[in-house]
Amino acid sequence: MELLYASCVGLLVTCGVFLILRARTFPVVLGLTMLSYAVNLFLFSSGRLALNKAAVLGHAEAYADPLPQALVLTAIVIGFAMTAFVVILAIRGRADLGNDHVNGQETSKNKTKGKA
């Protein structure tokens, strides 16, 4: 199962990074979201994978590591705030610059395409 888990994390990182390297804002935002899933899963797994050992006292014999969980919990919320900020920035950028290219301007090739 560890192998499967690590593969999932690796795949999420791959997809996230690929999307972040795209030229338009929206895929970049999706890529960031994906990458933050991967990072959260990665950090969470530093407490190792445990089945049926939720860290609620009195509900199990042994407990999963609660510390990474607490850290990831706030990371999820902060991640949301970050995603929200970036996406609003993308909207504002498009409103001010007139396009949604991450470099702030259409490349010359696309300008002609956009007009057509």
Partner 1 sequence: MTLLWIPLLSFIGSILSSFSGKLSRNQTTALTLVTPFIALALAIHISPAVFAGEVLRESTAWIPLLGLEVAFRLDGLALLFVFMILGIGILVIFYARYYLSEKDSMPKLFSYLMLFMTAMLGIVMSNNVLQLWIFWELTSISSFLLISYWGHKSEARKGARMALAVTGGGGLALLAGLLILGHIVGSYNLDVILQSKALIQAHGLYEVALILVLLGAFTKSAQFPFHFWLPHAMAAPTPVSAYLHSATMVKAGIFLLARFYPALAGTDLWFVMVGLTGLTTLLFAAYVALFKHDLKGLLAYSTISHLGLITLLLGLDTELATVAAVFHIINHATFKASLFMATGIIDHETGTRDMRKLNGMWRFMPYTATLAMVAAAAMAGVPLLNGFLSKEMFFAETLYQQLLGSMSWLIPVLATVAGAFSVAYSARFIHDVFFNGDPIDLPKEPHEPPRYMRVPIEILVALCLVVGMFPNLVIDGILSTASSAVLGGDAPEYHVALWHGFNLPLLMSGIAVCGGLLIYTQRRYLFQFQASLPPLNAKRVFDNSVYNIVKWSQHKITAIENGSLQRYLMLMFVVVLISAGWPLFEMAQLVGGKRPTEVDMHNGIGAALLMIGAIGTVIWHHVRMVSLLMVSVVGLMVSVAFTRFSAPDLALTQLTVEVVTIILLMLALFFLPQRTPKESSSIRVLRDIGISSAIGVVIGSICYAMITRPLDSISEFFIANAKTGGGGTNVVNVILVDFRGFDTLGEITVLGIAALGIYKLLINLPLFMPASDSEGRPWAKERYPLLLASISQSLLPLALLVSFYIFLRGHNLPGGGFIAGLITAIAFILQYIAHGSNWIAERLTINYRKIIASGIAIALLTGVGSWLFGRPFLTSWFDYFDIPLIGKIELASALAFDLGVYITVVGATLMILASLGKVTADAPKEEVNF
Window 30 to 59, contacts with partner 1 (CB under 8 A)? 30, 33-34, 37-38, 40-42, 44-58
Minimum separation from the CB atom of position 94 to partner 1 (A):
6
Minimum separation from the CB atom of position 32 to partner 1 (A):
11
Residue type at 37 in one-letter notation: Y
Of the candidate residues 61, 109, 112, 116, the single one contacting partner 1 (CB under 8 A): 109
Coil vs helix vs strand at 88: helix
Joined together, the tokens standing for residue 48 give 């190792």
- Contact call for residue 111 and partner 1 (CB under 8 A): no
Joined together, the tokens standing for residue 77 give 């919320």
Of the candidate residues 61, 107, 115, 116, the single one contacting partner 1 (CB under 8 A): 107
Closest alpha carbon to 26 in 77, 79, 91, 85: 91
Spell out, one character per residue from 64 to 93, where the chain touches partner 1: x when CB under 8 A holds, - when not.
Answer: xxxx-xx-xxx-xxxxxxxxxx-xxxxxx-
Q: Is the dihedral of CA 12, 17, 19, 20 positive or negative?
A: positive
- Contact call for residue 25 and partner 1 (CB under 8 A): yes
Residue found by looking up tokens 């510390």 in the block:
67
- Contact call for residue 22 and partner 1 (CB under 8 A): yes
Residue type at 20 in one-letter notation: I
